[in-house]
């Protein structure tokens, strides 16, 4: 796969930046800012862990993705109409979140958080489909997905860093109003970008939109190997997701102030992940998807032990935390680049919206499961043993590589198949 100037520096890459920021902010608000808010308000780790169940819509979004494939609003076009509606709903729901008090109105906070999750997951369905439709060549698909992923990650600075910094001087109610205002970035981008070209074959009915993606995927290979591919999507980052599931409460329990977490910890995690993401994309092009999955999987597993180490220090310093996070999130960035390439290879252009939603939902499910159960696990076994368990849970996904992505196998993109077609178009 080769890149040229026009594939990397064009308007479509800028669009990937804008929609990546719009896609990432709501999830990071649910994963980072809200848990910190609840912990500061003395909500227990167990409750915070179970509270993460509100993010389940991200894993279930494939269930209603055919609706977005089949139906559209009578304005802005087939994709942009859905973008605008979901983004306005996100602005309003995030802005009103701080009205309720965690100690006495936790159910209302959970309800609004669930709505944010539904609106955000729906936005992701249409943004993924839009991105797949505007990126045409293999070079654009690879670089565009990497740029989108890193913009997605950078957007975490807004709720995960700025939101923590502003919480004390502004108070939580006004802080969430500011966070909702940042979602206007997505609204502005939606109004400025062109509508994507229609897919080659629009679904003739809702049933057709539901059946076609599954029929196409399971039609490529035998049932057993197809299930192995789906299991791999679920398990590859399970251990890594488990280790970082309650990251912000972990930093709080280590004794770090919210301001320190916002300024140091978040940035020490962010930039290595971005560097790892771009480096990973280049390495994938050089050695292929299969071998990259093997190499990056080993890095992901090894860096989990850094959390176990710092959890045992009697008085951890910010420098210790920065070292651990730099190593961990460099591995996260590398692994994400390989996984995105793998998901793209398995996605057919004939059923992009639902297949992409299904694959990304499977990849996100371990994060939801890990977060919902991790609070109970930490309280039962302590942070150190929890991180050792996380490392053990990274092993099954690595073993599946023997069947799903053998080291010596030739990647499909090396044999001329479109990178995102899965060899099925």
pLDDT of residue 127: 92
Cα R_g (the chain), whole angstroms: 21
pLDDT of residue 414: 38
Q: Is residue 144 part of a domain?
A: yes
Q: Is residue 275 part of a domain?
A: yes
CA 232 – CA 297 distance, rounded (Å): 12
Residues 6+ positions from 203 with CB-CB distance below 8 Å: 66, 69, 70, 209, 212
Residue 420 has pLDDT above 60, yes or no: no
Q: Is residue 339 part of a domain?
A: yes
Q: What is the CATH number of the domain that holds 347?
A: 1.20.1250.20
- Read off the pLDDT of residues 220-267 as tens digits, 9 standing for 90 and up: 877 888 899 999 998 998 888 888 888 878 888 888 887 787 777 767
> Which residue range(s) make up the domain with 359?
5-415
Q: Is residue 421 part of a domain?
A: no
pLDDT of residue 6: 55
Q: Is residue 104 part of a domain?
A: yes
At residue 146 the predicted structure's pLDDT band, cuts being 50, 70 and 90, is: confident
- Read off the pLDDT of residues 92-116 as tens digits, 9 standing for 90 and up: 999 998 888 887 788 888 899 999 9
Phi, psi of 2 (to 5 degrees): -120, 145
Q: Is residue 296 part of a domain?
A: yes
Mean pLDDT of all residues in 40-54: 79
| Cα 299 to the center of its chain, rounded Å | 19
Q: Is residue 350 part of a domain?
A: yes
Tabulate helix, strand, coil % of the chain (nearest 5).
Answer: 80, 0, 20
Mean pLDDT of all residues in 333-347: 82
Average pLDDT, the chain: 82
CB contact at 8 A, 254 and 312: no
Residues 6+ positions from 373 with CB-CB distance below 8 Å: 49
At residue 137 the predicted structure's pLDDT band, cuts being 50, 70 and 90, is: low
3-state secondary structure of 42: coil
Residues 6+ positions from 407 with CB-CB distance below 8 Å: 290, 291, 294, 401
Q: Is residue 425 part of a domain?
A: no
- Read off the pLDDT of residues 169-227 as tens digits, 9 standing for 90 and up: 888 889 999 999 999 999 999 999 998 876 666 777 888 888 888 888 888 877 888 89
- 130, 353, 406 from 267: Cα distances, Å: 30, 33, 35
Number of domains the chain is built from: 1
| DSSP state at residue 172 | H
CA 407 – CA 309 distance, rounded (Å): 31
């Amino acid at each position: 796969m080769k890149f040229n100037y026009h594939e990397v520096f064009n308007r479509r890459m800028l669009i990937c930046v804008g929609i990546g920021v719009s896609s990432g902010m709501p999830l990071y608000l649910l994963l980072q800012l809200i848990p910190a808010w609840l912990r500061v308000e003395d909500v227990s780790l167990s409750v915070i862990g179970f509270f993460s169940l509100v993010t389940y819509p991200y894993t279930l979004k494939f269930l209603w993705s055919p609706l977005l494939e089949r139906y559209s609003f009578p304005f802005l076009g087939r994709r942009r109409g859905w973008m605008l509606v979901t983004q306005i709903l996100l602005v309003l729901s995030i802005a009103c979140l701080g009205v309720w008090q965690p100690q006495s109105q936790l159910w209302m906070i959970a309800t609004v958080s669930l709505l944010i999750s539904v609106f955000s997951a729906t936005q992701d369905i249409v943004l993924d489909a839009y991105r797949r439709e505007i990126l045409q060549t293999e070079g654009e698909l690879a670089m565009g997905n990497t740029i989108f992923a890193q913009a997605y990650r950078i957007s975490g600075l807004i709720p995960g860093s700025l939101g923590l910094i502003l919480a004390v001087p502004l108070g939580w109610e006004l802080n969430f109003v500011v966070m909702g205002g940042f979602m206007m970035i997505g609204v502005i981008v939606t109004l400025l970008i062109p509508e994507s070209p229609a897919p080659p074959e629009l679904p003739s009915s809702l049933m057709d939109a539901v059946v076609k993606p599954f029929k196409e995927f399971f039609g490529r290979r035998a049932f057993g190997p197809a299930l192995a591919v789906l299991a791999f999507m679920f398990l590859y980052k399970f251990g890594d997701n488990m280790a970082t599931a309650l990251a912000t409460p972990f930093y709080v329990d280590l004794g770090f102030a919210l301001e320190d977490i916002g300024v140091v910890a978040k940035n020490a995690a962010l930039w290595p992940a971005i560097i790892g993401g771009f480096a990973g994309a280049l390495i994938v092009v050089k050695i292929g998807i299969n071998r990259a999955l093997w190499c990056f999987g080993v890095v992901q597993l090894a860096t989990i032990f850094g959390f176990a180490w710092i959890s045992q220090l009697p008085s951890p310093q910010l420098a210790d935390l920065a070292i651990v996070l730099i190593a961990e999130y460099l591995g996260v960035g590398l692994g994400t680049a390989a996984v995105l390439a793998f998901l793209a290879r398995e996605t057919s252009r004939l059923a992009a919206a639902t297949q992409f939603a299904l694959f990304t939902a499977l990849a996100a499910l371990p994060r939801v499961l890990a977060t919902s159960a991790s609070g109970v696990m930490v309280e039962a076994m302590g942070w150190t043993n929890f991180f050792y368990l996380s490392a053990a849970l990274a092993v099954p996904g690595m073993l599946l590589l023997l069947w799903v992505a053998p080291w010596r196998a030739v990647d499909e993109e090396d044999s001329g198949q479109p990178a995102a077609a899965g060899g099925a178009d």
